[in-house]
Amino acid sequence: MCRKQINIYIAGPMAGKEKFNHPAFDAAEQSLKSKGIYKPYNPALADREGGLSTAELQERIEDKAIVKRVLKRDVDAIFECSSIYMLRGWEHSKGARMEHALAVALGYSVQYQ
């Protein structure tokens, strides 16, 4: 019997973290996938697929056009999910707090690392 996978968004701190915290996002993605019931959305992977390296992100974090583009992409992704997974330290990230608030407002289940 095939089970429908749960779309889950991974949220957490990036700015100011080494390698923009991509290793933590990638590890969470692999952990969630290994459970067999989750289809994770990894914004770190989306950054890389969109051509944004961690070095470029660190350099251009003040570029409002990039921030707007990334936030819109990630908010759109949250709307495609039904659950959210919060990485440690999310409470110290403006973006992750916004993502958490949106998920709560949408009635999503919230998991914490």
Q: SS3 of 3, please? A: coil
Q: Give the chain's mean pLDDT.
A: 91
Nearest-angstrom CA–CA distance, 48 and 38: 21
Between 16 and 93, residue with greater pLDDT: 93
Name the residue with tokens 């390698």. Answer: 19
**How many structural domains does the chain have?**
1
Nearest-angstrom CA–CA distance, 99 and 110: 11
pLDDT band at 4; cut points 50, 70, 90 = confident
Is 36 part of a structural domain of the chain?
yes
Average pLDDT of the residues in 85-104: 97
Asked if 18 and 25 touch (Cβ cutoff 8 Å), the reply is no
Q: What are phi and psi of 11, to 5 degrees?
A: -125, 145
Could you read off the pLDDT of 16-54 as tens digits, one per residue? 888 889 999 999 999 999 999 999 999 999 988 888 776
What's the pLDDT at 59? 67
Is 1 part of a structural domain of the chain?
no
Q: In 10 A of CB 86, how many CB atoms?
A: 22
Domain range enclosing 82: 6-112
Tokens of 72: 């819109």
Is 21 part of a structural domain of the chain?
yes
Give me the CATH number covering residue 57.
3.40.50.10400
| DSSP secondary structure code for residue 34 in this structure | H
Is 59 part of a structural domain of the chain?
yes
Nearest-angstrom CA–CA distance, 85 and 63: 27
Average pLDDT of the residues in 79-90: 98
Its pTM stands at 0.90
